[in-house]
Amino acid sequence: MPTYTEHVTRVITEDIEHAALGTVAVLTFAPPEGQERRPATLGPQSIQAVTGAINAALDRAEAGELGAIALTGTGKVFLAGADLSMFADPSAAERVEEMTRAAHDLQVRVRASAAPILAHLNGAAPGGGLEVALMADVRTAVPGARGIGLPETGLGILPGWGGTTLLQSVVGPEVAVRMILEDPTRDRLLSAQQALEAGLVDALAEDLPAALEEFAAIVAARADSAEAVRAADGADAAVPSYARPLPPADSPEAEALHDALDAPLPTGETRRAWAARMEAQGAPAAARALELLQQLPGSELTDALARESAALGQLVRSDGAKASLYSAEMLRRGKPGRTPVEGAREITRVGVAGAGLMAAQIAAQLALGLQVPVIMRDLDQGIAQKGLAAAREVIAQTAARGSLDETTATRIAELLDATTDVADLAGCDLVLEAVPEVLAIKKSVFGELEGVLDPEALLVTNTSSLSVSAMAADLQHPQRVVGLHFFNPVAKMPLVEVIHTDATDEATLATGLEVVRRLRKFAVRSADAPGFIVNRLLFRVLGEVLASLDAGADPVEVNTSLDPLGLPMRPLALLDLVGHAVADHVGKVLVQELGDRFHASPGLSAMVERKVRFTESRRGSVQPEVSPVVAEVFAPDGTGSAQAPVGEALLDRVLEGLAEEIALMLDADVVERVEDVDLALILGAGFPRHRGGITPYLDSSGAALSGAGRTFHGNRFASGTDS
């Protein structure tokens, strides 16, 4: 039963007169009346409105009524592409096929028409919005426009309304391949200036009148150029044609396209090899797009568009697309809001207890986000000053990247200070502790702070695994304690777990959420439970891996067993990143708190004692290789065990274990919604978006039923066409 309600984009048509162009039909894409804050998007009715309006303008041009057509948008959006909420509807695949036919028919028609078309990008033009702009002969953009590109392969689909087929004819093979395959993996869209440098837009123009002037000049120059070629080479000379956008077979353009598809990535892996690896991990979109690009040379436009349509139709039905689009919508809804959190207290001064690496990173982000005085306190004067210097260096690096001007950077750096005297924290509205992960130390810090702070000032902990309730147990005002678990590196990691205890009052929780919002990070709420969300689930995974090693499994086989899941790094490299002592400590704590579902590894403890790493980096290797020392530590007699799970058996254990643990967390109200789990794993642990984080994959793979006795999303993620 259809559940999708479309917000239908309007197309406002107005004729204006231009000295050089004659009568110009200006088609403005706008959101529904009364919904001006929404972007104009493309659903089934909207695509009919857009293509219908352009077709009507073409009819008028061919009848001699118009000299040109101009397309533009409203506010800061040209046209925002497909409405992602449409993809949750069961009829999405059929709707997309209808929309694709309409877009392709128009892509063919505009190239057969003599009417010149301008697309003036007044703002963002992602995905289908850019594909509509590719229908134009000339593209201009306002200098401040951002959000121009083709993010589709990152959504588990591909640019299927002409983008995969036509982009290379505008920007050249190398830039087109990068925009279609690589940029989506980095969430990279272009600014107007970058689009100009890439050749995607022809000129920058402040507004539509200026754009029309540029348009008229470009059209005239192209006509003069074509006439000059014909005069020099004869009337039948081949002139580069917008009507013939595909490279001939065996041409230099075809060779350049194929070279771009086989070009190496920064990791050393070729684009083709990377796309094949991603397909094996359940993300086939890049491989499908690469195949389409490979087939372009020598093709007719209609044939290439037919292949594009077929590939898009297949991908829309795939597990990877369903999960990727779920992730995209979840990330959209979870991003920091524009309005303050209701009930939050005002924050005018902040303290940080501790001045180590993590404390300095957090202090810098608090100064950047809140722009209030931030004072760091450590017992050691040298450490305090070193931490202050490190925090100010973060500000300097932010300015060096262009995110701040020098004046603002200097002002924010001056908001930071350091001290050894706890009394200097008096007057702070919030103090965050970032001292060593030892409960007794954290309790002592909170006790000392309570003696100097106002009773309503927040006490915040950055603990990653300790009980927040235990920290607050001996305080006079436990209701003002909340956890803000930042992830390392703080500047880059977008997630903060917001931990509330049974005693935390509403104003404290609201203020914690408001701090995270002002830092422009994603907040996911968790009850005070061992490991919270990310570490609890991450160590359920690592526990199974270490248990297999402790049972004598081959370390190389163990390390590759989770590859189908598509994690950003293999488990033994992850253990090196987390730190062996930290992993050993957290594993033991979780066993103590949650029981033998978790695993305290004797082998890991031995690795800590020997101070050796699990992996070794090798030149030319995409993933670090397993160190021979692992086998020596975990199987010192040189014999392994055939019974220890590896490969599919270990992957099954991991997936079923995750399903079990997530169900337990939901039942115990550690998290309110299953989407919170997926959001936390994507942003805090790098779980792949094409798996939807994890729960869509658990449903589609059957692990949810076998591990938890239920699915997490009903039948929404019943298996499609990829695994």
Residues with a known catalytic role: 131, 152
Long-range contacts of the stretch 205-214 (C-beta < 8 A, 24+): 205/120, 205/140, 205/141, 205/142, 206/142, 206/143, 207/142, 208/26, 208/70, 208/72, 208/120, 208/122, 211/70, 211/72, 211/118, 211/120, 211/140, 212/18, 212/21, 212/24, 212/70, 212/118, 214/138, 214/140
Tokens 């369903």 belong to: 322
Helices (H) and strands (E) in the chain — how many of each?
Answer: 28, 18
CA-nearest of 323, 324, 295, 298 to 310 is 295
DSSP 8-state symbol, 107: H
Element (H, E) at 138: strand 138-141
- The count of other CB atoms within 10 Å of the CB of residue 698 is 28
DSSP collapsed to 3 states, 565-609: HCCCCCHHHHHHHHCHHHHHHHHHHHHHHHCCCCCCCHHHHHHHH
- Number of residues in the chain: 723
Residues 6+ apart with CB under 8 A from 228: none
Identity of the residue numbered 298: G
- Whole-angstrom CA distances from 16 to 21, 137, 178, 206, 657 are 10, 19, 38, 18, 65
Supply the DSSP symbol for 416. Answer: E
Give which of 281, 330, 182 is closest to 691, Cα–Cα.
281
User: Which residue bears the tokens 């039905």?
Assistant: 317
- Beta-bridged to residue 82, according to DSSP, are 42
Report CA torsion sign: 598, 602, 603, 609.
Answer: positive
Torsion angle (degrees, nearest 10) of CA 273, 688, 597, 625: 30
Euclidean distance between CA atoms 459 and 481, whole angstroms: 5
Measure the CA–CA gap between 325 and 452, rounded to whole angstroms. Answer: 49
- Please list the residues that pair with 119 across neighbouring strands: 71, 139
Q: Please tell me the chain's helix, strand, coil percentages from 3-state DSSP, rounded to the nearest 5.
A: 50, 10, 35
Quote the tokens at residue 61: 């041009």
**For tokens 């299927």, what's the residue?**
160
Q: Compute CA 423 distance to the chain's CA centroid, rounded to the nearest angstrom.
A: 42
> Can you read off the two tokens belonging to residue 57?
């303008």
CA distance 426 to 342: 26
- Report angle CA 402, 403, 404 to the nearest 5 degrees: 90
> 485 phi and psi, to 5 degrees?
-90, 100
Sheet holding 68-72, edge to edge: 10-18, 22-30, 68-72, 117-121, 138-141, 203-204
How many Å is the maximal CA-CA distance in the chain? 93
